[in-house]
Structure 1
Amino acid sequence: MRGGVGVRGLRFLWVRWRVVLRLAGWSVVEAGQTFLTGYAPARALDQGFLAGRAGLGLAWLALAGVGVLLSAYGTARVYAAVAALVEPLRDRLVERVVGRGVREADGAALSGLTQQVEIARDTFAGLVMVSRSFAFTAVGALAGLVSLDPLLLLVVGPPLLAGVALFAATLRPLARRQEAYLVADEALAHHWGAVCPGLRDITATGAEERIAADTGDRIDAELGTARALAHWGVLRVASLAIGGQLPIVLLLAAAPWLLDRGVTTGALVGALAYVTQSLLPALRNLVHGLGTSGSRLTVVLRRLAPAPSRREAATGPCGQDPSRDAGPPPARPGARRPRASATTPATPATGSPLPVTSSTPPALALNAVTFAYGPTAAPVIKDLDLTLRPGAHLAVVGPSGIGKSTLTALVAGLLRPRQGTVRIGGATVPSAAAAAQRVLIPQEAYVFTGTLAENLGHFRPDPVPEAELLAAVDAVGMGPLAERLGGPGARVDPAALSAGERQLVALARAYLSYAPLVLLDEATCHLDPQAEERAERAFMERPGTTLVVVAHRISSARRAERVLVMDGTGTAYGTHAELMRVSALYRDLVGSWAPGPAGVSEPALALRDADRVDAVAGPGLAGDGRHVVAHGPVGQVQAPGDLGDGGPLGGKG
């Protein structure tokens, strides 16, 4: 153990010196068996059976049996003395944990009280038993060797001392490496605990490579500590072989030499009994018990102690909380990571949206993209060509289940095309460079427990100035909600928000991001038409933004510069007026959009459409279970030929 823990441990034992003396006394009684283990059989052979006096031999063996009974009685008293040492330690640790939990509102107090205190208690008891057993067993065995013949001590003593010395030399580095391994293992566990619930976020942001690399680094770190621990574990095995097994070999090899110098046969047999029945088991228990449990006790006691560094084991190699790695941008101190959402963007390398120049590549370019949900399935998207300039505004329409969300997933890098290429700002999808330039907001937005400011600024690497945050809130029409919640510093309970309110939070979060390409996959389906229009116009007016909207109202398509109509066998592309002339499917879709009570358009397709899925909602914020999004299950493909073909126009926007 290291200085602080070791000093406190010695002080703890010194205060209880009477218990320590009682433990030592009963250990002497217990060690009586060890002395008789070799001495009694040696005398039984030399003075009894080999001398033709069987009765005397049996008497010596009977004495050895009495020694076993005395040792058992001593062992029972030893356990009572150990309990007198261990239970006060447990009580002190419980008092410390409870006191710190009440005083500091420490969230780890429950774990410390229910698990770590018990680990410390059990480990400390085991260490006392193991170290005490080895010390008294070694003394009893060595005393027996001397009493049989001092020459035996010359054969057994040196390798035993060498093995113990080697083990003692490895204790401190072994403890350090054991602790390093535990820290690396816990860091990896914390990392996995943060990453696994956020896999959708990671995929949605295109952060797979970054998270995979970071996870790989943590795995490599744990592997490195495990290898270092294993290397030192080899020395531990070597110390056991030298101190416990080499004496057996030396006794057998030196038997002729010992017998020539007056060592009796019984003494030689007794020496072998001492080594095999006492010294080797005691040394094995010491090596395995003290080598592993000792470092574990050090780690647990250091964490239970009120030291400033007790949280280091829960942080990463550079002191960063591993839970911050659940999403692409680094979180602000104290911010909690959301669990899972496809709304997360990766933070671009630049600190602001890219300016549009003559050399700026297209904001989005799809070249002969084909995708199907299986090798034998009909393509959902086939040979799609599409180019959008920076600042363009595109609406994507089509019957439910036709592939609109599949298209946004391909653009975002969540899916990979069977053939063709997708590029964002000149960067191939999927890649970190492409993921840094887009943000995808699905219809089911995710809000995590934390402050409103933490939710809204999640995509930003640094805290967002309050003025900028409030401006974004006002731009997307989230002002009344923010005011009702209590402002940027208010805590947000996701379960208390409706689906539409969660969408407003996700829209403001995306608005504050630096991603120039914004993909709204029915991200306003739970908002009323006026709120939807305000949110879309906010992104249309956001500098440097290219907007792609999967529309569920005709008003969204009318606001867009260009409309992409998907029909399962081809696509049609153009302005609203152009498509009304050339696309029968688009005319049908527009005709199915009936005016609402206030003269605004309602969702595409009649309720209870052919896919047996309700189209989205009437006016008002949803979240009361009355509105179902018009999306079939992932992978649903309509048979070709059941929809009209408006004819592929292709083109550029």
Structure 2
Amino acid sequence: MSRVGVRRATWRALRSRRRQLAGLCGWSMVESLPALLSGYLVARAVDEGFLAGHLFDGLAWLGALAVAVLVGAAATGRTYRSLGAVVEPFRDELVDQVVRGALGDATRAGGRPDSAALARLTHQVEIVRDTFAGLLMVTRGFLFSAGAALLGLLALAPVVAALAAAPLVVGLAVFLAALPAMVALQRVYVRAGEQLGQSAAAALAGHRDVLACGAQARVTADLEGQVAAQAAAERALARMAAIRSLSLGIGGWSPLVVLLSATPWLVQRGLTAGAVLGALIYVSTGLQPALHTLVQGLGGGGLRYAVTLENLLGVYPAVEGRRRPGSATPPPPVDTDHRAPAVEVRAVTFGYGPRARPVLRNFSLTLRDGDHLAVVGPSGVGKSTLAALLAGLVPPQAGTVRLAGATVAGVEPTVLARMRVLVPQEAYVFSGCLADNLRYLRPDADDPTLEAALDAVGARPLATRLGGLAAPVTPALLSAGERQLIAATRAWLAPAPLVILDEATCHLDPALEAVVEGAFGKRPGSLVVIAHRISSALRARRVLVLDGAEPVLGTHEELMVRSATYRLLVGCWDDPATPARAVSARRG
């Protein structure tokens, strides 16, 4: 992300809040009223009041200045309120952008959590917020205060305005010419700090491995190098303060020297003592403080703002036309005349590591809409890995996984979340009311819909015990089975056409597990159950057996004949017909 990107993001933030910015400018004009009138009113008080022997006229002019100061002070409070209306929404947009980007990187296929994301969210976003507010304040302060002072000088005498403006422009030019070098040094400093944070986090996280390998000296040396690099960058940045002092000397103090040196010549040209005093007031209380604030603000906060925002936008670029949270993004189109399979796995190979034995090798599977598949096999054979592949949580090393005709690896995470729901064994329930937990995947569900879901999955007794939909839920006070039941109800409500239950009912008793799986079986869409009990396979239309060899797919009756592993799991090796009769009795 270049400086152009920073300028574009800043301009977009200002342009989208034109009304609030106009309010800030309006109150800034009122606030600058003392800067506009101070020199002129003092000049009138001296020339037409005190020097003319009219004491009360002089005091009246000074009283008018006091009124202007009070009006300006009252406007100052309004400027900060208007400033918040501009800055806080920009900060919220950055938080949303960082969170979405970090979650997208962590949840996309092959993605991983970024250890620097928290620092960006808590530290760098706040730097941008504070420095953005500071930049607005110092910029509008310079424009209105310096502009008011120059207008006042013009009102006194145009020649005085020219004498004061010339060194001001030169000092400002010196500072602006050095600004790119300051930005470059600030960029080096920010990057050095970020690298130091990442290295320190990695060293602390792996301190046991460091001790076990005897690598303390090497790790310490690496961190010392990072600390030294950051310190060198900070010292180089501090040396640039000399440029700021030079520009302040030229633009802030030179006008005073010029005016004082030119006073005899100005008096000879008819300038009054009051006008000279007023000009000095305009320079000392208007131009000089305005330039000092601008140089210090741009040279400090401005550099941090530009580099920090550049870093954030480089890691998490803004997406034009990004929808607000909660807006609906349509899923990939499906050909209604030739409907794609709900799940299509083609020649997938996956292993945990380049040299590890593949968990799945050249594996293919097709599920039609409305299909109900149970996956069974010994522990550790790859059942949960298959669930993660179908959900798009891990990418295959070879082959493709498609949901409703769309390749999982190419689908945005937000869209993928509306295509499938994966319920793991460890159910997640958050603190809040029961209704909020159930609506997590379907925010628009009304209370009758939630009540129907509770009845469908057999969670009504739990909801009654908790106290109803509005009852508070404390995860630590729930059993593992109760958490699984809430998560199952949430998944049943989700609009996703594919549900994957990865041993998601293992903590429920067999009767309640049958109710839950029966509810999902009647739900529109497809169902994949990573079975914890063999009874889940008896309820499924088809069963996939994974045993480390060639996967076998078929109905219960077919697998009792074809798969020794399945017969072993069922517990009836000698009489393959027995399970079939049992299933017939269940289905009858």
Q: TM-score, normalised by structure 1?
A: 0.45
Q: TM-score, normalised by structure 2?
A: 0.49
Q: Which has the higher helix share?
A: 2
